[in-house]
Amino acid sequence: MRQWHFLQFSLHPRHLESISAIIAEMGTRGIHEQPLNSGEVLLKAYFDPSSDIGRAHSHFRARCQAAAVPLSGCATGIEIERDWLKEWRRNLKPFPVGARFRIIPGRPVSGSAVRDRIPIWLEPRMAFGTGTHESTQLCLEVLETLPLTGRSVLDIGTGSGILAIASAKLGAEPVLACDIDPVAIQVARANCFRNRVDRRIRLFTGEVEALADRGYDVILANLEGKLIREKLNDFGQRLNPRGQLVLSGLLQPDAADLCRSANVQALPLTLLQDLAKGEWRCLVFTTKTHGTA
Ligand SMILES: C[S@@+](CC[C@H](N)C(=O)[O-])C[C@H]1O[C@@H](n2cnc3c(N)ncnc32)[C@H](O)[C@@H]1O
C-alpha cells in the first residue's frame, strides 16, 4: 500500500489561506483540514514519499517565521494512503460572499439549484482562491457592484479562477485570465468547466506582459503589494477609458504606498474606492477624465 509523507501543525484560521499558498508552492499533494475545539485549525499537508520531508519541514518553518505566522506543534510523519482528498472535500461547506455570491465546494449535482445567490462551484485543489480569503472576498464585493454586462475583464493571477468565473456569471465578456502557475491554470480550467463558463473565459499560463492586446474595461489583480507596484504602469496602460482597475492582496502599508507612489501620480488613474477587510485592503482606480483631479 502507498505511503505519504506529511507535515502537521495547527494555526489560527485567519492564516489558512497564506499558509495554504506556501504549502501549495512546496508541492503538496493535498491538505486535510480539521477545526479544533481551541478555535485553531489542524492542517495535515501530504507530500510524495520520495520528497525530503525533513528539508520541507525546515523550509516551511522558515517561511512561516518570515511571514510572522505562529504555528503550534509542527511535526512530520508517514501515513498509509487513505482517501484524504475526499475527506477534505467533505469538511468544506458552502458559504456566502458579499450580497450576491455563494461559494460551493465541489461540483453541481442535479437537483441542487441555488436560487437566492449566484453559485460558484469550486475545487481549488492546489490553487489559491477558495473564496475564504479577505483579499478575494473584497474583489468579489467590488465585482458585484460593477456594471459588467458585455464588458471585457482581465484577471491577472487567477488562481482557482474564482474572480474570472464570478465576472463571467455577472455577464462580462470576453474574460481573459492568466497565472504564472501552470497548475493554477489547470485548476481554473476545471472550475470554469464546472461552472459552465468555459466557453466565455480564455485562460493562459504566463505573465500579463506576454499579452499583446490592451484595452480592458475591468482589470482584476489580487497579487502581492510589491508585484502590483512594479506592474502598475502596465495595468494602467491596458485599462480602457472609464474602466476599473481592482487591486487587492494589499496590506495597509502597501495600499498607502501605492496611492502615494509616483506611478499612480504619473498614470491617468484616480482612486475610486478604498475598501478594507481584516488586515487587507482593496483599491479601485479608474482612468482620469478631464476635470478629474
Ligand atoms: C493571491 S492569488 C489570487 C487568486 C485569485 N485571483 C483570488 O483572488 O483568490 C495570486 C495568484 O497570482 C499568481 N501570480 C503570482 N505572480 C504572478 C504574475 N507575475 N503574473 C500572473 N500571475 C501571478 C499566483 O500563482 C497565484 O495563483
pLDDT digits (tens, 9 = 90+) for 150-192: 999 999 999 999 999 999 999 999 999 999 888 889 889 999 9
What mean pLDDT is reported for the chain? 86
* pTM beyond 0.85: no
> pLDDT per residue over 115-135, tens digit each?
889 999 987 665 577 787 889
Ligand 1: list residues with CB < 6 Å. 127-129, 136, 139, 156-159, 162-163, 178-181, 184, 207-208, 222-223, 227, 249
Which three cell numbers mark 281?
485592503
Residue nearest (by alpha carbon) to ligand 1 atom 14:
157
Write down all domains in the chain, each with its CATH number in brackets. Answer: 3-89 (3.30.70.120), 92-287 (3.40.50.150)
> pLDDT per residue over 271-292, tens digit each?
999 999 988 899 999 987 654 4
> Strands 72-80 and 3-11: what pairing?
antiparallel
For residue 107, the CA-to-ligand 1 centroid distance in Å is 23
* 173 phi, psi to nearest 5 deg: -165, 130
> pLDDT per residue over 204-235, tens digit each?
999 988 887 779 999 999 998 889 988 998 89
pLDDT at 293: 40
For residue 167, the CA-to-ligand 1 centroid distance in Å is 16
For residue 243, the CA-to-ligand 1 centroid distance in Å is 21
78 has pLDDT over 70 = yes
For residue 288, the CA-to-ligand 1 centroid distance in Å is 27
Q: Closest ligand 1 atom to the C-alpha of 129?
A: 9
The three-point CA angle 12-43-164 to 5° equals 80
Bridge partners of 119, per DSSP, are 102
Q: Closest ligand 1 atom to the C-alpha of 130?
A: 9
**Side-by-side strand order, sheet with 175-179:** 201-205, 175-179, 153-156, 216-222, 239-251, 280-287, 269-277
Q: How far is CA 72 from the centre of its chain?
A: 25
